[in-house]
Structure 1
Amino acid sequence: MKFVVSSTALLSHLQAISKVINSKNTLPILDCFLLELEGSTLTLTAADSETRLVTSLEVNEADGNGKFAVNAKNLLDPLKELPEQPLTFEINNDNLETFIFFHNGKYNFIGQSGDDYPQPKELKETAVSLTIEPQVLFAGINRTLFASADDELRPVMNGVFFDITPEDLTFVASDGHKLVRCKTLSAKGAERASFILPKKPANLLKAILPKEAETVEIKFDENNAYIKMASYTMTCRFIEGRYPNYNSVIPQNNTNKVILDRQAFLNALKRVSVFSNQASNLIKLQLTDKNIVVTAQDIDFSTAAEETIACEYTGSPMNIGFKSSFLIEILNNVPSTDISLELSDPSRAGLIIPAENEENEDLLMLLMPMMLND
């Protein structure tokens, strides 16, 4: 088997799929890329035990068909240092000895049999299909993923929940302290369905989707999904379990509302939070008609800070506490110049909503308060 391929084209495809490979694998073959040549198409695969990412590129002077596995480091590390040039691969089909010839040298190593590489699970006949524009899928994952948990005791919280109805698609993520619900009218299913996409495939999609231009098709059953994009195909296993009823934790009838400049609020929080107690990260918001006073203090070190920001407030005067690192994270992920902060009382969750939503999108973020001692 023999083929010629551009070094930079090969490197960019391998780097995109290499993030799937774990640093420690139970199966040694999962330390490898699977390369499969058919005609002039070279298909590249990287996998771990639950996620698989496949891409392909055209090669020149292809001769013979076949598949073999190559240790990822043996291929990636030297390619990173090579300038753009054609690489000639020659593989002995009998013992899988592989030679890579380039402009002023060659590498050689022994590949592994491609037949030992794990195959993806077939979807059940009951599989459901969802088509979605790449930018809509990217926005949904990008808005919510930061709020997902790392909780070994409640694995269902460690991913992005897709809630599909015939009217819309809702992306949800929560770690028990903060929650993000992003509803889009730009995608919908033929019937009600849902799944929990784990963090790893969600992060991989976040990296790939901005470069995609064509519609994405997601086919899934209860346990697995095939996500087909123009340049990549991903298969992944879902997190099993029932996602909590996220709508039940969103407080209704919030009579106290603040509208304020997101960036000004964010900058003030970053400055004031430096003076908060390092263990609790507590900051206090004092709300009055025209102003919001942001304060923090650390009694142990006799430090304190206070800043006043102009705002539009309707409601009764109120003091509420939040963990500053969570509030900063939420504000960093709201795509709007002004935000609306909606509160009912100091013991119930606060809602952070963009003052102007993106087209066909309804975004809501929620943060649980911290108790104030005064």
Structure 2
Amino acid sequence: MKFKVNQKDLYNGLNIVRQAVATSKTLPILTGVHIKAVSNNGLILKATDLELGIEYRIMADIEKEGSIVLPASQLLNIVRELPDEEIYFNLNKDKWQAEIKCLSSLFKINGYDPDEFPNLPEVNKNAEFNFPAVKLKNMIEKVIISTSSDETQPVLTGALFVIKPEEVRMISTNTYRLSYIEADMKTNIDKNVEVILPGSTLQELNSLLKEEGSAEIVIDENYVKFKFNGIVFISRLIEGEFPNYELVIPDEFNSEFYADLSRLYKAVKRASLIARLDANIIKLKAVNNMLEIDSIEGSSGYAHEEVKIEMNGNEQNINIDAGYLLDVLKVLDEEEVKFEMIGPLNPLVIKSEQDKFIYLIMPVRSQS
């Protein structure tokens, strides 16, 4: 194998595939990047931790075809520090060693036999459709905040992905909050499909997706594949049954109110400076077109904020986790945020009519 490639192109490609590199050294070869030089097709970079796999192609001048697996961290660190010039690679197949030259710099990196590197799984076309990247990214940003970190309940660590002939939904919950978002779109599938996408998959997708173009999505019983911007992204699905989210979302309310998003976010953030020193609980009280925000008075002190609102209905109050409220306010796009409430023992409902997004925060018992 012998080729030359631009430093920026290689560094960008390595940054993309490294997100699938294994962090555990149980199988050392999975901590590497599979590099394949193909005439007239450039370099094909590939990484996998057996749960997630990413493949990406970059342009390169191939003199001799071949492949090798090189330690991802070591290679990325070297390429990052090289100047924006052509990098020359040459493979010593007897030692599985790559020689890397750039101007006056020379490195030799020991790698692995590429035949021992696992192939990315084939994904059968049980369901296949195209999804605008900007919509997909927006949905992911809205649901990723509600995924659970509790590995004893695997289905809650991801998001339910529901594909219907003319609608797509994503739902996530950690049982203390819930995110629901839907998008109208013709998918051209003939039956409903429901799968659970891992939270880690959502995180990596969110970082790679751009707001232009579309993603081609293919789903089977075990895997999902996304193709966008030259990237092939394959993830294993989570097995299990997702909770019945429709039973949790209220279909009525006693009060609704609207608040300026920017002012509300700043007020909640200030109140949380005190609240987070104890249990991070704040009390919201909506009355007379004013939203009062109080930290629960504890050993660290007390905070009080007020934000003007437009209110319809009865006076309301509720104790909630301040962090959960801040999380959703960060991802909303409108200038105004809408709240709906039934009472202090029912969830606080936040809605975005622009995005068809619903966010629930369960009330918490005051520690005072």
Q: TM-score, normalised by structure 1?
A: 0.93
Counterpart residue identity of residue 37, structure 1: A
Instruction: State yes or no: 1:44 paired with 2:45.
Output: yes
Measured in 2, the distance between the counterparts of 1:305 and 1:7 equals 52
1:305–1:58 CA distance, 2 compared to 1 (3 A): closer
Deviations 1:246-271 (Å, cap 9, x if unpaired)? 11101121121111111111111111
DSSP-derived class of the 1:274 partner: helix
DSSP-derived class of the 1:88 partner: strand
User: Displacement of 1:369 after TM fit?
Assistant: 1.0
Aligned length: 366
1:299–1:43 CA distance, 2 compared to 1 (3 A): closer
Measured in 2, the distance between the counterparts of 1:38 and 1:351 equals 54
Query: After the TM superposition, which parts of structure 1 deviate over 3 Å for at least 4 consecutive aligned residues?
Result: 186-189
Q: How does 1:170-185 map to 2 (within 5 A)?
A: 170-185=169-184
Contact 1:217 1:228 survives alignment (8 Å): yes
1:238–1:277 CA distance, 2 compared to 1 (3 A): closer
Q: How does 1:58-207 map to 2 (within 5 A)?
A: 58-60=59-61, 62-124=62-124, 127-186=126-185, 188-190=187-189, 191-207=191-207
User: Displacement of 1:111 after TM fit?
Assistant: 2.5
Measured in 1, the distance between the counterparts of 2:265 and 2:236 equals 37
* Aligned residue in 2 for 1:11: 11
Deviations 1:240-291 (Å, cap 9, x if unpaired)? 1111111110112112111111111111111122233734222111221321
* Aligned residue in 2 for 1:236: 235
1:310–1:214 CA distance, 2 compared to 1 (3 A): closer
Measured in 1, the distance between the counterparts of 2:309 and 2:98 equals 67
Deviations 1:88-124 (Å, cap 9, x if unpaired)? 1111334333211211121113331111001122334
Contact 1:347 1:371 survives alignment (8 Å): no
* Aligned residue in 2 for 1:365: 359
Q: Which moved more, 1:9-18 or 1:315-324?
A: 315-324
Deviations 1:30-76 (Å, cap 9, x if unpaired)? 0110001111311001111211100011211x223222111113311
Q: How does 1:29-40 map to 2 (within 5 A)?
A: 29-40=29-40
In structure 2, the gaps of 5 or more residues are none
Counterpart residue identity of residue 30, structure 1: L
User: Displacement of 1:189 after TM fit?
Assistant: 4.9
Contact 2:129 2:217 survives alignment (8 Å): yes
Measured in 2, the distance between the counterparts of 1:156 and 1:99 equals 45
Measured in 2, the distance between the counterparts of 1:245 and 1:128 equals 23
Measured in 2, the distance between the counterparts of 1:277 and 1:97 equals 52
RMSD of aligned alpha carbons: 1.8
Measured in 2, the distance between the counterparts of 1:75 and 1:91 equals 14
* Aligned residue in 1 for 2:296: 297
Contact 1:25 1:48 survives alignment (8 Å): no
Deviations 1:336-363 (Å, cap 9, x if unpaired)? 1101110011101111113x51xxx311
* Aligned residue in 2 for 1:336: 334
DSSP-derived class of the 1:112 partner: coil
Contact 2:53 2:233 survives alignment (8 Å): yes
DSSP-derived class of the 1:76 partner: helix
Deviations 1:208-256 (Å, cap 9, x if unpaired)? 1116x43211111111112112311011101111111111101121121
Counterpart residue identity of residue 237, structure 1: R
Counterpart residue identity of residue 105, structure 1: S
DSSP-derived class of the 1:210 partner: coil
1:297–1:37 CA distance, 2 compared to 1 (3 A): same
Contact 1:289 1:314 survives alignment (8 Å): no
* Aligned residue in 2 for 1:22: 22
Q: TM-score, normalised by structure 2?
A: 0.94
* Aligned residue in 2 for 1:286: 285
Q: Which moved more, 1:18-27 or 1:339-348?
A: 18-27
Counterpart residue identity of residue 305, structure 1: A
Contact 1:132 1:187 survives alignment (8 Å): no
